[in-house]
Amino acid sequence: MSLTRRYFIKKSSLATAGFILASNSLEAIAAHRKAVSPNDKIHVGVIGCNGMGWSNMRSMLKNDVIDCIAICDVDQNVLDRRRTDVQKIQGTEPKQYLDYRKLLENKDIDAVIIGTPDHWHCLPMVEGVQAGKHVYVEKPIANTIEECNLMVAAAKKTGMIVQVGQWQRSGTHYAEAIDIVRSGKLGNIRLVKVWAYQGWMKPVPLQPDGAPPQGVDYAMWLGPAPRRPFNKNRFHFNFRWFWDYAGGLMTDWGVHEIDIALYAMNAVAPISVMASGGKLAYPDDASETPDTLQAIFQYPEFNMLWEHATGIDNGCYNRGEGIAFIGNNGTLVLNRGGYEVIQEYTSKGYSGKGDAKMESIAQVNRPEGVNYLDLHTTNFVEAIQKNDPSILNTPIESGSVAAINAQMGNIAFKTGQKLYWDTEKGAFKKNKKANALMKAEYHNGWSLPVI
């Protein structure tokens, strides 16, 4: 069955079941929920519920079988707010936790959502599956290649169902585009471009260190990251731009786009990678990760070019973000708004173009009223109900590919060298510096989980 057909069936069945709502308001979700037998309920806990953790939980609560019975965060203010939000949706309050380990001891929890900063993904995920919980973990799955590999191994060893929050995989127009790429209609695809131009991103202003906000357990927020004084710039959303906790736009937007690119091309690991860039837009702001970056990945049959830039919206093909599969017969340009195919023509030299090299394919826009995150979280719920990880749209093994490749791009940038990958050894060839950057360094008494 083709990807398009498979996704269409899923979409239709979910729409019929009423899982897709036009509104994300708490009131609309509450009004939609129907009574379900307690025996059919799936009890979910959330670890890190300020941003995507809450978005994922809110989305999952559109499924009648889901109850949120536990929430965990290092910020009591966030906990209090989410407790009220959950109560508005399901009529009962979840139990609050400040330490994720205590939440995982709750035997009534069937599954957990991990929506913490990237440096806090590995430990809760591994300990979660070891505690018998299914896991929905945000992207990128981890902040180092070593952690990615540990998480994949933990899921495999325990057999628990693990979905990665790379929700573009559940998008119907993405599935249609992937079918076209794999059909051969575009001809030989020699180059795939992936990019994120983020005009909304302004400089991160320098701010002095200070005291953590009241109600925040800052030591727990740091966890295995190096001990540093509290600084507002490093907290909540902006953690993405500091190496201690994340990998900048390469592992933020990049993981989404690289995921689709490599999945469509059936590629896993590059032969080589090199990268160049830096803080060229805002050289004096507080962030550490590059605001401008180009990375070239060489695979056996094609190259992939990643690029990002902050403060600019006009990216490739006049799109702020996207993926372009460039073939001999045509180029498919894909982003969250839809996709189009730009045909190639036989050349008549300076006299113009001749015949089209492929059939015309009408532009496809993202379907209105369909929330791809809802499709993705519901796919996770269905996999739990059927105890069948094979139906997951982004299982941990597959989800790790984009994260690992993105980490390779960052390592190439940090070393300033062209790196060659040894697939059999799972390491860079003859490069101690690059291989050291694959490793996770845990601090403050925290240790890597043992599989």
Is 91 in the same domain as 114?
Answer: yes
Same structural domain for residues 227 and 281? Answer: yes
> Does residue 219 form part of some domain?
yes
Kindly state whether residue 328 falls inside one of the protein's structural domains. yes
Measured CA to CA, the distance from residue 143 to residue 121 in angstroms comes to 8
Q: 43 and 192 share a domain?
A: no
Distance CA 87, CA 84 (A): 5
**Environment class of 445 (CB within 10 Å of its CB; exposed 0-12, middle 13-18, buried 19+):** exposed
| DSSP 3-state of 210 | coil
In a domain, 49, yes or no: yes
Instruction: Determine whether 333 is exposed, middle or buried from the number of CB atoms within 10 Å of its CB (0-12, 13-18, 19+).
Output: buried
Amino acid at 404: I
Q: Are 35 and 23 part of one and the same domain?
A: yes
Let me know how long the chain is. 451
Residue 407 and residue 303 in one domain: yes
Domain of 110, in residue numbers = 3-169+372-395
> Count of alpha carbons within 13 Å of 40, Cβ hemisphere only?
8
User: Are both 364 and 376 inside the same structural domain?
Assistant: no
Pairwise CA distance, residues 102 & 117, whole Å: 19
Residues 6+ apart with CB under 8 A from 177: 264, 332, 334, 339, 364
pTM for this prediction: 0.94
* Domain of residue 77, CATH code: 3.40.50.720
Same domain, 139 and 202: no
Q: What burial class does residue 68 get, using C-beta atoms within 10 Å of its C-beta: 0-12 exposed, 13-18 middle, 19+ buried? A: buried
CATH number of the domain at 262, please.
3.30.360.10
CA–centroid distance for 131 within its chain: 24
| pLDDT of the chain, 451 residues: tens digit per residue | 344 434 443 443 443 344 455 578 999 999 999 999 999 999 999 999 999 999 999 999 999 999 999 999 999 999 999 999 999 999 999 999 999 999 999 999 999 999 999 999 999 999 999 999 999 999 999 999 999 999 999 999 999 999 999 999 999 999 999 999 999 999 999 999 999 999 999 999 999 999 999 999 999 999 999 999 999 999 989 999 999 999 999 999 999 999 999 999 999 999 999 999 999 999 999 999 999 999 999 999 999 999 999 999 999 999 999 999 999 999 999 999 999 999 999 987 776 788 999 999 999 999 999 999 999 999 999 999 999 999 999 999 999 999 999 999 999 999 999 999 999 999 999 999 999 999 999 999 999 999 9
pLDDT for res 87: 97
Looking at the fold, whether 355 and 378 belong to one and the same domain comes out as: no
pLDDT at position 24: 80
In the chain, how long is the greatest CA-to-CA distance? 74
In a domain, residue 223? The reply is yes
Per the domain annotation, does 47 fall within a domain? yes
Report which DSSP code applies to 449.
P
Same domain, 253 and 384: no
Joined tokens for residue 371 = 């929330």
Q: What are 111's strand-pairing partners?
A: 44, 134
Same domain (yes/no): 224, 110: no
The DSSP secondary-structure symbol of 388 reads -
* Structural domains counted in the chain: 2
CA angle at 397 for the pair 178 and 387, rounded to the nearest 5°: 95
In sequence order, which residues have a C-beta less than 8 Å from that of residue 445 and are 6 or more positions away?
none
Nearest to 79 by CA among 112, 108, 110, 46: 46
Q: Which two tokens stand for residue 255?
A: 């993981």
- Is the same domain home to 83 and 148? yes
Answer yes or no: do 94 and 215 share one domain: no
Residue 449 lies in a domain: no
Considering the domain boundaries, does residue 441 fall inside one? Answer: no
